[in-house]
A and B are shown apart, each in its own frame.
Chain A
Amino acid sequence: MTKVEYWVKIPFGPIHPGLEEPEKFILTLDGERIVDVDVKLGYNLRGIQWIALRRNYVQIMYLAERMCGICSFSHNHTYTRAVEEAAGIEVPERAEYIRVIVGELERIHSHLLNLGVLAHDIGYDTVLHLTWLAREKVMDTLEAVAGNRVNYSMVTIGGVRRDIDEKRRRIILDMIKYYKEVFPQIEDIFLHDPTIEARFRDTAIISKRVALEQGAVGPTGRGSGIRDDARWSERLGVYPDLGIKPVMPQDVTGERPRGDVFDRMAVRIGELWQSLELIEHALDQMPDGKIKTFPKDNVLVAKLRIMVDGEGIGRYEAPRGELIHYVRGKKGSDKPLRWKPREPTFPNLFAVAEGVKGDQVADFVVAVASIDPCLSCTDRVAVVEDGKKRILTEKDLLKASIKKTREINPEIKGDPTPVGFGCSR
């Protein structure tokens, strides 16, 4: 007897109340059970990379910042690091401390936002309003420190734009005092509430193996038991002096990580505390001194024209995970030849699409929200060839990659092997 399968395909998106941004997932369902998930990217393409190649290094900073409203500092910071590496610019130590402070403030606001969204996705709006009310304080602090609630424009190539003086320092200390009262409440609700326990436990389990295969990063990877944090493994800036170490779910829940939504959430709660600690230490240890290498932007543009030669890579742990920016420039031009950001959501999305198989429809929104997707950062590539979109195989991608490498670096000669260097298969 042949087995008859009553599978239904439903589109989940592009516009859906459970998704904050347009993105399409095609779910194959067997009743309420998810059999397969097909991720369709490309609904948010804004052509930022294309625009960027027509601007100079300083102008790109503003563009990079506007890729995402939540992790705007992270994008700017990572891009700046890539350019600094390509140009060989040393950053003053005080600037590094200020970068740490603003970065951790942003992490607090991003994690609080995500915790609220998670609660909203299970219909628990009271917790949403609790966390988002708490989030207002850090937004106000960011406004006091940087002048804006989003898109802070705090980082510049070779330093930071604004100093943290005594008045701002007091505002930040005020905020830390406020959060030391509020975080225990939030932690208690998220770790012990029965509804949250029922909905988040054993939902969308990403095993360590799947997480490694798909390259999951950030809280998603750490929730699955991968001990990695770009700030820690890269020994980034002054983070080692502040005693950074990756937050694992067992530090918060006291159990072995299972890789479910609950563990990812627990990592975020642990990181809230860690961020507070880092800010406190950074404020204590911050040395005096200048905050930027080049005082004026026009000088900076002129210097970068000479200094940038070759490539630079910036790595930073954005709230969602490891963020990489690649910049390649040539002497004599104030525009980069190539600028390529890699968003943490991209690998995480495929990891969670793998992990949600076998769960129910109701779990899907929670699962997607648990990686804190930033879909407008992710969507920057659509392959259009001969006027139509098509699916590329591994070979096509390799060919395109070789073509692009030749284009930006004509010195490379010879024929690369069909299986590229570093490919595992």
Chain B
Amino acid sequence: MDVMGNIVYPIAGLLGLYGFVSLASLLWEGIDRKLVARMQRRVGPPLIQPFYDFLKLMSKETIVPNTANYMFRAAPVLALATAIALLAYTPMGFTPVLASKGDVIVFIYLLALISFFKIVGAISSGSPYAKIGAAREATIMVSREPAMMLAIFAIMWRLGKLGVDKPFSMGIFYQHNIWEIGTPMSFVGAIILLYVFCVWLASEIEVGFFNIPDAEEEIAEGLLVEYSGRYLALLKLTKALKAYIAASLVVAIFFPWGIAGYFGLTGLSADVVNLLFHTLKVFILLFVVGSVFRAVTGRLKITQAVDFLWRNVFLASLVGSLLLAMEVIM
């Protein structure tokens, strides 16, 4: 058995990615806060404010409510662990570390698992606000995922028809991409699916319309209401990682091109350049879907958000997927 190839390199790569993505995603939070502040004609905090926040929270006392059970403490750690595991399956400018058959499904489930751990931790705290927040998170989760799953499976299936050895793998995006299918109908379908994915991303990172489970003014940060100190720091880091990872998926599907080829780089240096370029693309996407969306909309009620996700986004996903799959079916 190849110890180096199968164990050491993936672990080293994963740790490296974890370090890089943590820094990048926290930096993005700082940039985001600054940009939104400029849009609102404020000065805004310094760019590295999220790092200060993280360090401050890590050093503060952690208060655990006496109504809480052990899952309250386990949930932030498990959520962060899930996010780190997720990094191994996230396409970030190159084929993921643990790419294999069917890792798309693993990816989707792990992404849902982060929310799930957050819900479990919130319910375990025993606070009524956290329970309302958990109920909202669960409601919005079951409303946003079907549209995304339908779209991603349609894309995977359609790309698989183009002839790749491992369909339903994240590596597929670096061999074929959605714009390569080439018929006008699929082009329209891809545009519609881009809209679906943007809304999905916005609801995944909970900005603008979808800032419902954490609504600060309504239920006092909802899921996070009882968390403090280290656990809160871990949850904030998880949230930042999740934003990066979710955006990576959209970037991989719709904008998968790298630039290392133009410089004639190969091997590790190509991966690094691609990773940096990918990070830039993620930032641009998050700027459009996150910052701008956050600045120009307010929060909806949970019923209105569910309505929007099912009637509008799920329908769009259905139409887009059908358009994409049309010529193969006919």
> Is A195 located at the chain interface by the 8 A CB criterion?
yes
> CB of A178 within 8 A of chain B?
no
**Nearest residue in A to B308 (C-beta to C-beta)?**
A198
User: A199 — which chain B residues lie within 8 A by C-beta?
Assistant: 298-301
Q: Which of A156-164, A179-187, A233-241, A361-369 contacts B (4 or more CB under 8 A)?
A: A361-369
Q: Chain B nearest CB: distance from A12 CB in Å? A: 9
Evaluate contact between A124 and B297: CB separation under 8 angstroms.
Answer: yes
* Contact across chains for B298 and A123 when beta carbons are under 8 A apart: yes
Q: Does A409 contact B (CB under 8 A)?
A: no
Of the four ranges (under 10, 10 to 19, 20 to 34, 35 or more), the interface on chain B belongs to: 20 to 34
For A111-142 the 0/1 string (1 means CB < 8 A from B) is 00000000111111111011001000000000
Contact call A125/B299, Cβ cutoff below 8 A: no
Alpha-carbon separation in the docked complex, A32 to B134 (Å)? 12
Say yes or no: is B41 at the interface (Cβ < 8 Å to chain A). Answer: yes
Asked if A45 CB lies within 8 Å of chain B CBs, one says no
Query: Across the interface, which residues of B come within 8 angstroms of A29, CB to CB?
Result: 132
Measured between alpha carbons, how far is A307 from B120 in the docked complex, in Å? 70
Complex CA distance for A123 and B211, rounded to whole angstroms: 8
Q: Does A39 contact B (CB under 8 A)?
A: no
B298 touches A8 (CB 8 A): no
Report A356-406 residues with CB < 8 Å from chain B CB.
360-365
- Would you give the shortest CB distance from B135 to chain A, in whole angstroms? 8
Within the assembled complex, what's the spacing in Å between the Cα atoms of A123 and B206? 12
Given contacts A17-B220, A123-B217, A360 and B295 within 8 Å (CB-CB): no
Q: A195 touching B129 by the CB < 8 A rule? A: no
Q: Is A16 an interface residue (CB 8 A)?
A: yes
Contacts of B211 in A (CB 8 A): 123
CB–CB A362/B209 < 8 A: no
Give the complex CA separation of A119 and B74 in angstroms: 37
B63 at the A/B interface (Cβ < 8 Å)?
no
Given A8-B128, A126-B40, A126-B295, A365 and B301 touching (CB < 8 A)? no
Name A11's closest neighbour in chain B (CB-CB).
B128
A255 → chain B closest CB, angstroms: 21
Report whether B298 and A122 are in contact in the complex, using a CB–CB cutoff of 8 Å.
yes
Chain A: CB-nearest residue to B221: A17
A18 at the interface (CB under 8 A from B): yes
CB neighbours (8 Å) of B219 from chain A are 361
Tell me the complex Cα distance, A16–B297, Å: 23
Is B39 interfacial (CB-CB < 8 Å)? Answer: yes
**In whole angstroms, how far apart are the Cα atoms of A31 and B220 in the complex?**
17
User: B297 touching A18 by the CB < 8 A rule?
Assistant: no
The chain B residue sitting closest to A19, CB to CB, is B217
Please determine whether A362 and B129 come into contact, CB atoms closer than 8 angstroms. Answer: no
Q: Are B41 and A123 in contact, with the CB atoms below 8 A?
A: no
Judge whether B300 and A18 touch: CB under 8 Å. no
B211 CB to closest chain A CB (Å) equals: 5
Which of B212, B295, B298 has a CB less than 8 Å from the CB of A196? B298
Write the nearest CB–CB distance from B320 to chain A, whole angstroms.
Answer: 23
- Asked if B303 is an interface residue, CB under 8 A from chain A, the answer is yes
Q: Which of A8, A17, A361, A363 contacts B216 (CB 8 A)?
A: A17
Q: Any chain B CB within 8 A of the CB of A10? A: yes
B155-203: which have CB < 8 Å to A?
none
Expressed in whole angstroms, the Cα–Cα distance for A18 and B208 within the complex equals 17
Please report the C-alpha to C-alpha distance between residue A360 and residue B132 in the assembled complex, in whole angstroms.
Answer: 11
Q: Would you call B296 an interface residue if the criterion is a C-beta within 8 Å of the partner chain's C-beta atoms?
A: yes
Residues of A within 8 A of B135 (CB): 31-32
- Asked whether B41 lies within 8 Å of A133 as measured between CB atoms, the reply is yes
Q: Which residues of chain B come closer than 8 Å to A129, judged between CB atoms?
A: 40-42
CA distance A94 to B291 in the complex (A): 52
Q: A198 to B304, Cβ gap below 8 A?
A: yes
Nearest residue (CB) in A for B129 is A10
Whether A195 and B218, one on each chain, are in contact in the complex, defined by CB atoms closer than 8 angstroms, is: no
Tell me if B17 is interfacial: C-beta within 8 Å of chain A: no
With a CB–CB cut-off of 8 A, which chain B residues contact A125? 40, 295
Q: What 1/0 flags go to A10-46 for Cβ under 8 Å of B?
A: 1000001110000000000101100000000000000
B302 at interface (Cβ–Cβ under 8 A)? yes
A-facing mask of B121-133, CB < 8 A → 1, else 0?
0000000110110
B110 contacts the other chain (CB 8 A): no
Decide if A126 touches B39 in the complex (CB within 8 Å).
yes
Residues in A with CB closer than 8 Å to B64 are none
B272 on the interface (CB 8 Å rule)? no
For B30-69 the 0/1 string (1 means CB < 8 A from A) is 0000000001111000000000000000000000000000
Beta-carbon contact of B300 and A198 below 8 Å? yes
Point out the residues of chain A lying under 8 angstroms from B296, CB to CB. Answer: 126
Q: Which residues of A are found within 8 Å of B216, using beta-carbon distances?
A: 17, 123
Answer whether residue B215 sits at the interface, using C-beta atoms and an 8 A cutoff.
yes
Residue of A nearest to B219 (CB): A361
Shortest CB-to-CB span from B143 to chain A, Å, is 15
Q: Report the Cα distance A360→B215, complex, angstroms.
A: 13
Complex Cα–Cα for A229 and B117 (A): 54
Q: Mark B283-309, 1 if CB is under 8 A from A, else 0.
A: 000000000000111111111100000
- Evaluate contact between B217 and A195: CB separation under 8 angstroms: no
Complex contact B301–A195 (CB within 8 A): no
Chain A positions within 8 Å of B303 at CB level:
32, 360
26 inter-chain pairs at a CB distance below 8 angstroms, sorted by A residue, are A8-B128, A8-B131, A10-B129, A18-B217, A31-B135, A32-B132, A32-B135, A32-B302, A119-B298, A120-B217, A122-B298, A123-B211, A124-B299, A125-B40, A125-B295, A126-B39, A129-B40, A129-B41, A129-B42, A198-B300, A199-B299, A360-B301, A361-B219, A362-B215, A362-B218, A363-B301
Which residues of A does B touch, CB under 8 Å?
8, 10, 16-18, 29, 31-32, 119-127, 129-130, 133, 195-196, 198-199, 360-365
| Given A10-B128, A126-B39, A363-B301, 9 other A-B residues pairs in contact with their CB atoms under 8 A | A16-B220, A18-B218, A130-B40, A195-B297, A195-B298, A195-B299, A361-B132, A361-B219, A362-B302
B residues lining the A interface (CB < 8 Å): 39-42, 128-129, 131-132, 135-136, 208-209, 211-212, 215-221, 295-304
